[in-house]
Amino acid sequence: MELDFTDTPFDTKSIKPHEIEEVFEDPFSIRLLPDNDRADGEARFYMIGKTIGSRGLFLAFWSNGKKARVVSARDLVHEEDTYYERKLAEMK
């Protein structure tokens, strides 16, 4: 899937585009169901994953199946990181 980084609404200096790509490529990332109750009708998908350097990120993105546009990215909070680690242990 191609990632679109044009006019990103978040700071690409604190979270680098290659880190977002790494989260999309994380085989253990957790993808959550889309949010369909938005007023604009656009479905948003959510993902929790880690970079190669073990930085945990939470992403909100839109996708049409071929291209994804990340609309929000931030570091994981403690509870999300714990959830990721628990799910990772269940998969192994």
Q: Do the Cβ atoms of 6 and 21 come closer than 8 Å?
A: no
Between 72 and 92, name the one with better pLDDT: 72
Among 67, 68, 54, CA closest to 26: 54
Domain segments of the chain: what residues? 2-91
Using a 10 angstrom Cβ sphere, with 0-12 exposed, 13-18 middle and 19 or more buried, the burial of residue 33 is exposed
Q: What is the pTM of this model?
A: 0.86
pLDDT tens readout for residues 3-56? 988 888 878 889 999 999 999 999 999 998 776 666 665 678 999 999 999 999
Is residue 80 classed as helix, strand or coil in its secondary structure? Answer: helix
